[in-house]
C-alpha cells in the first residue's frame, strides 16, 4: 500500500475532442494518475510499432488499484491560444512556403485548465510498483523519459511525496454505488484506460465525489488500472 500527496499549481486532463475548444476533465483522472505513477517508477508506457502514425500503449504494463481524493477542489479557467497544425486535405497549402516547414494552419482555440490541484492518491495491489514509485521519488530509480507533468508538459507538479496514511479527502467514487454522494457535485466522465490507436476501446466511467470528507477510503473508490 502506498499513499501520495500531489500538489500542482496548474493541470489539464484533456478529453477526446477536436475543434476550437479543448476541454479538461474537472479533476485528476484514473488514467492520468496511472501514467504519472509509471513515469515516477521509470516505466515507459508507450511503444512504437514502426507502422502506426502515433505511439501506442505498451502491453504488459503493471496492474494495480488506485483511490483518488480531492484535498481541495481546483478552479477552472480557460485561455485563448494559437493552434498550429497541418490541415487534412489541400486547405491552406498556399501558406506553406511562407512558414518554411513549420505548421502552416493557424487558428485560435480556447483551452481549459485547472489551478490549485491538491490530491491524495492511494495505490494498492502491486507492491513492486509502489516500491518503484518510491525509488523514483528518492532518485534511486532508473532514468525515465521526461519530467512528470499533469496533462501538459508545461504543467509540472510542485510536490509529490509519500504519506504515512490517507489524508481526509473527498474521494472519487463511481456513480451507481451505495456510497453517499453530494447532490451538488456534478457527474464526471473520467478515463480509466487509454487506447491511442482505437478511441472506441478507451474505457471511461462516470464518477462523482463522495458527499463527505473522510480519511477512510470508500470501498468503491478503488479503481483497477493497468494493461495485462
- Report the relative pairing of strands 170-174 and 203-209 from DSSP bridges: antiparallel
Q: How many CB atoms lie within 10 A of CB 111?
A: 18
pLDDT score, position 82? 81
- Regarding the domain delimited by 2-76+113-227, which CATH topology (the fold level of the hierarchy) does it fall under? Alpha-Beta Plaits (3.30.70)
Give CA–CA dist 37/194, Å, rounded: 15
Residues 6 or more apart in contact with residue 63 via CB below 8 angstroms: 125, 126, 224, 225, 226, 227, 228
Beta-ladder partners of 124: 65
Report the pLDDT value the prediction gives residue 131, as an integer from 0 to 100: 96
- The whole-number pLDDT of residue 102 equals 81
Q: Is the full-model pTM beyond 0.85? A: yes
pLDDT along the chain (228 residues), means of 10: 97 83 94 95 85 79 96 94 75 78 81 96 97 93 79 93 97 79 75 84 91 92 91
Residue pointed to by grid coordinates 515507459: 44
What's residue 49's pLDDT?
Answer: 78
Amino acid at each position: 500500500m502506498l499513499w501520495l500527496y500531489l500538489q500542482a499549481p496548474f493541470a489539464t486532463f484533456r478529453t477526446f475532442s477536436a475543434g476550437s475548444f479543448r476541454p479538461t476533465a474537472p479533476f485528476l483522472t484514473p488514467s492520468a494518475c496511472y501514467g504519472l505513477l509509471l513515469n515516477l517508477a521509470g516505466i515507459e508506457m508507450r511503444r512504437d510499432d514502426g507502422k502506426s502514425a502515433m505511439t501506442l500503449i505498451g502491453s504488459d504494463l503493471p496492474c494495480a488499484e488506485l483511490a483518488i481524493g480531492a484535498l481541495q477542489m481546483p478552479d477552472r479557467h480557460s485561455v485563448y491560444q494559437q493552434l498550429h497544425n497541418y490541415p487534412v486535405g489541400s486547405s491552406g497549402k498556399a501558406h506553406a512556403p511562407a512558414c518554411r516547414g513549420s505548421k502552416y494552419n493557424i487558428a485560435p482555440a480556447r483551452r481549459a485548465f485547472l489551478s490549485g490541484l491538491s490530491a491524495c492518491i492511494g495505490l494498492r495491489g502491486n507492491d513492486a510498483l509502489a516500491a518503484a514509485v518510491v525509488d523514483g521519488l528518492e532518485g534511486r530509480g532508473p532514468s525515465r523519459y521526461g519530467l512528470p507533468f499533469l496533462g501538459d508538459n508545461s504543467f509540472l507538479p510542485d510536490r509529490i511525496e509519500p504519506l504515512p496514511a490517507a489524508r481526509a479527502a473527498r474521494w472519487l467514487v463511481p456513480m451507481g454505488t451505495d456510497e453517499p454522494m453530494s447532490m451538488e457535485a456534478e457527474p464526471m466522465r473520467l478515463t480509466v484506460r487509454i487506447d491511442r490507436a482505437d478511441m472506441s476501446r478507451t474505457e471511461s466511467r462516470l464518477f462523482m465525489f463522495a458527499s463527505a470528507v473522510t480519511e477512510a477510503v470508500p470501498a468503491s473508490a478503488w479503481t483497477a488500472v493497468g494493461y495485462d
